[in-house]
Chain A
């Protein structure tokens, strides 16, 4: 099967309009894990059965259009009629039987694929990650490791990961296309899916169940690391940031009411926004929509509504706790201090 994919991949790409790459960061055609691969292979079976039917039926259709034109395009009403056949029972029965056979060919791999993706693999113990969706960001918790992170999850290469998904508000859907199919986040349901990455890399994902105004900007990244690197990463993520010196703005604007900066006084509880303890170590900000650069971070803090309309940080506004003012604008100096500090939280 593997060989097939390598062979057909360029074919599929060539079919696309030239110049357009079909192996974007969220391509389902580039399977980088066993779940995505099995799903893609079952898709290929359906695709080729469809192509075969299309060749036969479409060919007949085209044959009719070319060969059975009325002479001269239009005929008078008294022109001799063609054979007024009403059908052919034998042919009809044949068509039905062939259809049933073809459906069978498609059905078997489909059911196999459902069972494969819906059953935890035996052998290696999967790593468990609890995913919680918020309007419009993701929380990742590693109950066995005591790690919490937002919008970017580290996973070990070559080990199955069991994602348990839940929502804090409306429906969302958790999807990392290169690793496998999606799962909705439905209130009151403990749903899970397992994924596994074959090789290290950054895998992009996106919410795929409409969840309100900024649904388009609810993205995420999964970073696959070699097992040793993953252990190091997890140990580091667990550490707090007690030895850092937060700028005054963190307290002045009550950042910790929503965000966690573990290790700081009052920094353990904030959970309405992403955990910022190691925000500087992430590749992206604002739920996967911008690269993590000081410039982007400043723009995000300056006016969050620009990047993600309707988000809480904007709607609630920055509250100046010292002067009891609502919806204040941060000064340029305050913004720079915050950016410097957050960027330093590797």
Chain B
């Protein structure tokens, strides 16, 4: 095998679209979907530790009545950041890691459609996650729950930068998500191997497609809402300010028009993973493939029609409450279809209880339980009792941990051999599963009872007389049991199995889909020769050619063979690979700096309004802004009003805050310019890259 770089000139050659980049620079400039997938997953897992520690802090505080382990303010930051972290920094990016790594392999492509855009998405995600967590260092972590309802989130009630970090951080993460989604939609629609028709796509790829359509449709809504709230906070607009005719309830509608599809964005990819894992470990095709795909689309579509079930207590009136109760209940139908089909897949199979399968089975049980409590919420009459209690907390942890995380962990155990080339240890995997399964159910099942017994969400403490002590203690014990499982998983993943695991080979599980037809870990170019797909579960059919006649009629077979005539064989050009690029990271670093500036401009016009008389007096006395700022510094440090009697201590503090806001605006402009410059240079970057030539004998040897 030898490598032939594409010749480039001048500036771009100096920056170097890296040829087969190695080391740290290789990772920083990578556009390889597999490396980006690993970056996504590892980053998400690190945030998972952070979010998990926040969860343990929450459970410790609630372990007993009247505990005061830390302050109420810190608690409010804990649960806000726990939710924000787990949703936006763990489950979404972990799924994105699998999209990145697996989708091109499963559709038979060399990479995603827009490799540099893909890198840009990752860096935006990383910087966004760092921005939102940097708030901890300023003691300004978001503190108003992940829904950020105004008026509490308005400047009038919340004057620190807590909400600014949250708003801008989510905005940055939103850019990352939308860019990634456009990329995956294009990849799945346009980059499929010959013969890979839509109805031959693996279910995981289908769910990726549906999920990314949901992202593209739902994120614009939250983007507008976040922008409006940011304008309210920074520029004193009144979108949500009730004192000036703004509507706090409007935020709730916007938030949940995004927020409900968001929960399907979280759950559909794990459903896809489970739909891949079950057939492999039952040695049977997925039961009712078209219905599983169709119900996935149905869930995605219905996800946009049910948002107001999060608002049954907001005074929408009987008709709206009844209508949204009914639309919500209809979602139970496609969800039920999926569960029946998974059970149907197991029916008369040959079930192999390997670790990925255990997690997939755990998923089915727990998702079913979460579905039942979901049906109970859909009953709007009783939801008036359940709303904002621990019954809700139990429900969404059943679908998000019991469902989404179990599905993702199943995916980790399933694809780990493909990604690293080594098997994960079965005994440790089983131990991790049982710790997690028992810990999870111990933590969250009692929360149903707590909720029905009247315990509201988001409370820092409770009194003994409310009668919630014992169950809370049980929940806390369960949470620490789960922590043991997480430790087991992490030591196994990042150390023991990575170092000592047995070699996996290309197809350790007797797999069905294309990714198992290539070596583990896959070579940089994925497929030496782009495969021609003849059927659903093509690799399985290749291993069991006698099944083909059952699968496809001869016409389809002929069509597949016809495609084969077009596919690219080895020729003198070799395989063209894109070179690395600095610009995705450069551009997103620029935008991140801009976002940092925007955070620190939060509250600008409110502060200015409050000290307008002092500013007018200064203008009248001919005091310039710079003089005013230096006077303010003296006043604040000496704690005495200035001689000219323009600034008292309180106003002087405000002047300094205003100056910080102005600096924020300047930073935002600089960052924005850098970001746009990055994209401009990126657009002008020549194709570059390199060609891989595989020698004939090497090819023959495989």
Binding site for B on A (CB under 8 A): 16-17, 19-29, 36, 38-40, 42-43, 45-47, 49-50, 53-54, 57-58, 60-61, 64-65, 68-71, 73-75, 77, 79, 81-88, 91-92, 95-96, 99-100, 102-103, 106-107, 109-119, 169-171, 173, 175, 177, 180-184, 186-189, 191, 204, 206-217, 289, 309-310
Contacts and interface: CB of A to CB of B under 8 A. Distances in A.
Contacts of A186: 248-249, 314-315
15 contacts: A17-B471, A24-B453, A27-B467, A42-B381, A42-B382, A60-B347, A70-B350, A79-B350, A86-B288, A99-B333, A111-B381, A117-B384, A184-B314, A210-B458, A216-B72
Contacts of A208: 313, 387-389, 456-457
A173 B242 contact: no
For the complex of A and B, list the 9 residue pairs with the smallest distance between their C-beta atoms, beginning with the closest.
Answer: A181-B384, A113-B381, A26-B454, A24-B467, A191-B315, A187-B242, A216-B459, A87-B288, A70-B350
A53 B315 CA distance: 32
B348 A20 contact: no
Contacts of B387: 173, 181-182, 208
B155 interface: no
Contact of B379 (A46, A96, A187, A188): A46
B510 A77 contact: yes
Interface string B443-479: 0001001001111111111110111101100100000
Interface in B149-168: 149, 151-152, 157-158
Contacts of B286: 86
Contacts of A103: 329-330, 332-333
A212 B376 contact: no
A299 to B, nearest CB: 13
A43 B376 contact: yes
A273 B625 CA distance: 41
Interface string B268-294: 000000000000001111111111000
Given A20-B449, A29-B452, A82-B283, A68 B248 contact: no
Q: How large is the interface on B (under 10, 10 to 19, 20 to 34, 35 or more residues)?
A: 35 or more
Contacts of A28: 385-386, 452-454
Interface in B324-381: 325-326, 329-330, 332-333, 336-337, 339-341, 343-344, 346-354, 361, 364-365, 368, 372, 375-376, 378-381
Given A25-B465, A109-B379, A216-B460, 11 more contacts: A64-B346, A64-B347, A75-B350, A82-B283, A86-B289, A87-B290, A113-B379, A186-B315, A206-B456, A210-B144, A213-B76
Given A24-B453, A118-B321, A92 B380 contact: no
B247 interface: yes
B372 A53 contact: yes
Contact of B384 (A39, A60, A77, A214): A39
A100 B333 contact: yes
B455 A114 contact: no
A39 B550 CA distance: 53
B145 interface: yes
B381 A88 contact: no
A67 B314 CA distance: 49
Contact of B152 (A68, A111, A171): A171
B23 interface: no
Contacts of A79: 350
Contacts of A214: 72, 460
B616 interface: no
